[in-house]
Amino acid sequence: MKFKIVMKAPDSIHASVEQAIRDSLPDDYNAIEDADGLLDERRAEFNERIKKWVEYGEYVTIEIDTDADTARVCEVS
- H helices within 1-77, ranges in order? 10-24, 35-50
Taking only the tens place, the pLDDT of each residue in 8-41 is 988 999 999 899 888 888 777 777 778 788 888 9
Alpha-carbon distance 53 to 11, whole Å?
A: 16
User: Which is more confident, 62 or 37?
Assistant: 62
CA separation for the pair 22, 41 (Å, rounded): 12
What pLDDT score was predicted for residue 77? 85
Q: Is the pLDDT higher at 24 or at 44?
A: 44
Say how many domains are in the chain.
1
The reported pTM is 0.76
Mean pLDDT over the full length of the chain: 91
CA–CA separation, 75 and 61 (whole Å): 8
Q: Return d(Cα 26, Cα 12) in angstroms, integer.
A: 24
Q: Which domain holds residue 44?
A: 2-73
- Give the SS3 label for residue 72: strand
